[in-house]
Amino acid sequence: MKFDIFQMERNQTLFENDVEINLTESGVHPWSIEDILGEEAACDLLKQPLGYGWTDGRPSLRANIASWYPGATAANVLVTNGSSEATMIALMALFEPGDSLVFALPNFMQIDGLGRALGFDIRRLELSGDTDWQIDPAHLAKVAAGAKAIAVTNPANPTGSVLSAASRAALVEAAKRNDAWLMVDEIYRGGEIDGAETETLWGSYPKVVVTSSLSKSFACPGLRLGWVVAPAEVVASAAERQDYTTIGSGILSQILAEEVMRPETRGRLLARGRDLLRSNADLVAQWMAQHNDWSWRRPQAGGMAFLRYPLDMPSEVFSQKLREEESVFVVAGSWFGIENHIRIGIGVPTEVLRDGLARMDRFLARHKS
C-alpha cells in the first residue's frame, strides 16, 4: 500500500527535538501528573499493576468523556491511542475503496493522505481567509454532491477559526442532502481564546462522528489518549478495527485521562490553558502590529496562529532557513495545503514565544525582499 509522506509529522519527527525554540506544536504547554492528580494520588499511581485493563476504555473514562457531549453515553465512546488512531479506525469502519470524501482545507492532512492510501476519492473543499475560513454553502454543495462523508476540523487547524452558525448549518444540510457522514475533528475544542466554548457538532445530525484527544486543549500529549464519539454501531465496528491496530490504550493513560475528563478537573485544566493562550495571542498581536506587510486573523481557539507573510520564499524553505539560522522551528503552510503562510505555536511558555518572535525578527531583517 502506497502512502504519501505526511510532511508535517515527518518534519516534526526529524527536527523538533534539535532546535532551541520549537514553535511547531499546536497545543497547550503540557501539565505534569501532579497537576492532574495532586501529590498523594500521583504517588498512589506508582502502585498500579501494569495489566491490560479495558481495551475499549475503562467504563468510567468513557462515561466522563461522554459527559462532554450532550446526549452521549459510554456506549457512544471508544478510547483510542490519540486522535490519529480514532480517525483511522473510523474511516476503515465506515468507508470502502472508491467512496468519495470531502476534506476541508487548510487542515491537518491525515484524512487527505490516509484516505487516498485506502483508495477513497478525496475531494478538497478549499476555504479562504478572506471569508474568515468559513464555508461557502454553494461551493460545498457542488463539491459534496454524491459524497459519502464531509470531514472538517472545528476549531480549525491551522487557522484557529471556529465555524459560524451559518457554516455549521451548511455542513449539516449538505450531509443530509447526500445521506453522508459528517466527520468532525474537535481536538481544539476547549482551547477557546476569546469567547465561549465551541459547541460540539455531536447531536446536530444522526450521522456525526467526532474524534478528539487530550493532546491539545487538555495539554496531555504524552498520554496518547484519544476517542471516537459516534453511534453505538459505529463504535462497535471501529473497535473491531482497533483489534488489528493497537488493541487498546495503556492503563496508566486511561487512569489519568479519567481524572482529566472528570467535569471538575476538566474545567480547571481548560481554564489554565485558556489564560496562557489569551496572553500569548496578545503577544503575537503586538508583534503583528509591527509587521504591517504580514496579515493574520486572530485565532478563536487552539494553540496556534496562522500568519501570512510577504516574502518571495516558499513556506517550506522559510521553515528550513529559520530553523537552520535561528534554531526556531515553525510549520510551513504548504504542509496544510496552502502557501505563503506559517503556523506558530502559541501554547508554549510566554518567554519561549517572546524569544522565538525576537529571533524571527533577526531572520526577517536578513531576508527582506
User: The domain spanning residue 16 has which CATH number?
Assistant: 3.90.1150.10
Grid coordinates 537552520 are at which residue?
A: 324
pLDDT at 368 over 90: no
In a domain, 1, yes or no: no
How many Cα atoms are found within 13 Å in the side-chain-facing hemisphere of 205?
24
pLDDT at 93 over 80: yes
Q: 48 near 58, Cβ under 8 Å?
A: no
Quote the pLDDT of residue 1. Answer: 84
Residues 310 and 170 placed together within one structural domain of the fold: no
pLDDT at 369 over 80: no
Residues 252 and 307 placed together within one structural domain of the fold: no
Mean pLDDT of the chain: 96
Residues 20 and 107 placed together within one structural domain of the fold: no
pLDDT at 316 over 70: yes
Query: Mean pLDDT, to the nearest integer, of 31-48?
Result: 94
How many Cα atoms are found within 13 Å in the side-chain-facing hemisphere of 310?
9
Structural domain boundaries, residue 103: 34-265
**pTM of the shown model:** 0.96
Which DSSP helix (H) or strand (E) runs through 230?
A: none
Distance CA 24, CA 228 (A): 25
Query: Which residue among 211, 241, 265 closes a domain?
Result: 265
Beta bridge partners of 153: 185
Beta bridge partners of 343: 306, 331
Query: Which residue among 265, 295, 327 closes a domain?
Result: 265
Looking at the structure of the chain, the number of domains it has is 2
In a domain, 50, yes or no: yes
In a domain, 2, yes or no: no
Residues 12 and 44 placed together within one structural domain of the fold: no
Residues 229 and 314 placed together within one structural domain of the fold: no
pLDDT at 36 over 70: yes
Closest C-alpha to 283, from 271, 296, 293, 270: 296
Query: Mean pLDDT, to the nearest integer, of 148-164?
Result: 98
Residues 283 and 362 placed together within one structural domain of the fold: yes
Instruction: Label the pairing between strands 149-153 and 21-22.
Output: unpaired
Residues 213 and 117 placed together within one structural domain of the fold: yes
Q: 146 near 138, Cβ under 8 Å?
A: no
What length does the chain have? 369
Query: Which residue among 231, 265, 299 closes a domain?
Result: 265
Residue 282: other Cβ atoms inside 10 A? 14
Residues 192 and 337 placed together within one structural domain of the fold: no
- Work out the percent of the chain whose per-residue pLDDT is above 70: 100
Beta bridge partners of 270: none
Quote the pLDDT of residue 184. Answer: 98
